[in-house]
């Protein structure tokens, strides 16, 4: 239960007073973290439905729920919590609320995250959909399918109806690539030839098999598009597409995911960028790096979701850039190894999102010395600027420690 104490604090609020977190959550099969607020219309619509499901079915099945408030003042919190039949993080614990929002990447409310009651591990971040589709908890605690359960057993080998089994795919491949794409999508139509070339000339020989996961709107379009491809496909309209899209949180297409064919472990969900940057597969299977090149656009989706240390070197000479990268790499690797969610970037040129980052942070034009910033977009667009003009282990460490101790001056993006 120590995992929940670390997450939620030593005590939780009930209608009759505070109770130790360990006592409140002991023996629960699942714990739901409910991010909500009195002022939020969708929250006010969902809360009665969640309360009804909890009271009639979910509590008896072993669920406990903990309210994490985004209310703007304590009286609003008190009024709203008065409608709820579960626990709450005390309103005064704003730091816990911020930590939880960052950890589970909560960008809107209501949000309902479900955790395993024994381990604290995430079961699903889309508990709201699960409750709405299954209020009686028939499938509680709604553990998602494994990768291979979602992937299924059979795939199209061509447009003539021939199929291959998952056992054949796994036996003949080291890696499985899932290509989420559609005939109607112009970026997909632009990327597909590049992927075909990389696959045919380099990636297939390195042990990659690709499976097309279609978003085409009709069978004719699917067959025409699939006819161009030298790999496998899930039949158009198959329900496996929705399950796989949910597992990999596919928000747009084209998306290219690489998975280990033996273990089912995800290697990268950003392989589209890898194909563009490394079409010969020199670094395939493209395990994510601790330090990302912001100028190339690699990993920049993290900018919106995590605390990011960014070192802008777009005005520096090659020697300064190389020296800064050499300092940053071991620090970034140690951070990843420690389980920290901080992302690390360096920008050797003014390409990609670098000009926009400079504009939002109100930074001067590129200079011959490095500029080091911390982007904390999840904290309502916060950022911090280091006064250091060189990148060293001491300056980077001091900057990060200053953030942790709240000793830095917070600035607002815009």
Q: What is the CATH number of the domain that holds 214?
A: 3.40.30.10
Q: Are residues 269 and 217 in the same domain?
A: yes
**Does 185 fall in a domain?**
yes
Segment holding 236, helix H or strand E: none
Residues 152 and 269 in one domain: yes
- Domain membership flag for residue 142: no
Same domain, 80 and 122: yes
Q: How confident is the model at residue 102 (pLDDT cuts 50, 70, 90)?
A: confident
Residues of the chain with pLDDT > 70: what percent?
100
Is 125 in the same domain as 151?
Answer: no
Calpha distance 18→92 (Å, rounded): 13
Contacts of 282 (CB under 8 A, 6+ apart): none
Q: Is residue 104 part of a domain?
A: yes
* Region 47-71 average pLDDT: 97
Out of 72, 102, 133, pick the residue that ends a domain: 133
How far is C-alpha 334 from the chain's CA centre? 20
The verdict on residue 229 lying in a domain is yes
Residue linked to tokens 């299954």: 134
Estimate to the nearest angstrom the gap between the alpha carbon of 122 and the chain centroid: 12
Looking at the structure, do residues 56 and 166 belong to the same domain, yes or no?
Answer: no
User: Is residue 18 a part of any domain in this protein?
Assistant: yes
Residues 108 and 215 in one domain: no
% the chain with pLDDT above 90: 87
One domain, residues 153 and 34: no
Last residue of a domain, one of 226, 251, 277: 277
Task: Give a yes or no: residue 138 inside a domain.
Answer: no
Same domain assignment for residues 101 and 216:
no
Q: Are residues 302 and 402 in the same domain?
A: yes
Over residues 132-160, the mean pLDDT reads 95
Average the pLDDT over 293-302 and give the result.
Answer: 85
pLDDT tens for residues 184-226? 999 999 999 999 999 999 999 999 999 999 999 999 999 999 9
Number of domains in the chain: 3
Q: In which domain, by residue range, is 295 found?
A: 291-412
pLDDT average, residue stretch 84-96: 95
Mapped onto helix, strand or coil, the DSSP state of residue 273 is helix
Q: Give 388: exposed, middle or buried? Use CB within 10 Å, 0-12, 13-18, 19+.
A: middle
Per-residue pLDDT at 236 exceeds 80: yes
Domain membership of residue 282 (yes or no) is no
Q: pLDDT digit string (tens) for 247-283?
A: 998 989 999 999 999 999 999 999 998 999 899 999 9
- Average the pLDDT over 322-338 and give the result: 95
* In-domain check, residue 140: no
């Amino acid at each position: 239960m120590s995992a929940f104490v670390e997450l939620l604090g030593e005590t939780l609020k009930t209608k009759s007073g505070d109770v130790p977190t360990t006592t409140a959550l002991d023996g629960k099969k699942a714990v739901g973290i409910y991010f909500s607020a009195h002022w939020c219309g969708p929250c006010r619509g969902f809360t009665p439905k969640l309360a009804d499901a909890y009271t009639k079915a979910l509590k008896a099945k072993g669920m406990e729920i903990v309210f994490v408030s985004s209310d703007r003042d304590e009286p609003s919190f008190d009024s709203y919590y008065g409608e709820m039949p579960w626990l709450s993080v005390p309103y005064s614990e704003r730091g816990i609320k911020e930590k939880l929002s960052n950890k589970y990447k909560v960008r809107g409310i209501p949000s309902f995250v479900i955790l395993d009651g024994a381990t604290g591990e995430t079961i699903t971040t889309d508990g709201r959909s699960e409750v709405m589709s299954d209020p009686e908890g028939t499938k509680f605690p709604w553990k998602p399918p494994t990768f291979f359960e979602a992937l299924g057993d059979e795939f199209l080998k061509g447009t003539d109806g021939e199929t291959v089994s998952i056992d054949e795919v796994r036996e003949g491949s080291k890696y499985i690539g899932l290509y989420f794409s559609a005939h109607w999508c112009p970026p997909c139509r632009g990327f597909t030839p590049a992927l075909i070339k990389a696959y045919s000339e380099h990636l297939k020989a390195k042990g990659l098999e690709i499976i097309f996961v279609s978003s085409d709107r009709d069978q004719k379009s699917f067959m025409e598009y699939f006819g161009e491809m030298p790999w496998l496909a899930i039949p158009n309209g198959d329900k496996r597409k929705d399950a796989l899209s949910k597992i990999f949180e596919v928000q747009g297409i084209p998306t290219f995911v690489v998975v280990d064919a033996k273990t089912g472990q995800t290697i990268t969900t950003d392989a589209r960028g890898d194909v563009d940057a490394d079409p010969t597969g020199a670094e395939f299977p493209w395990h994510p790096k601790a330090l990302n090149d912001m100028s190339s656009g690699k990993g920049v989706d993290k900018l919106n979701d995590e605390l990011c240390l960014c070192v802008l070197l777009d005005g520096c000479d090659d020697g300064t850039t190389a020296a800064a990268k050499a300092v940053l790499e071991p620090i970034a690797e140690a951070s990843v190894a420690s389980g920290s969610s901080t992302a690390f970037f360096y920008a050797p040129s003014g390409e990609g999102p670098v000009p926009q980052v400079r504009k939002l942070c109100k930074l001067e034009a590129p200079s011959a010395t490095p500029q080091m910033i911390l982007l904390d977009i999840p904290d309502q667009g916060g950022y911090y600027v280091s006064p250091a003009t060189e990148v060293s282990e001491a300056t980077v460490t001091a900057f990060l420690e200053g953030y942790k101790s709240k000793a830095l001056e917070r600035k607002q993006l815009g």
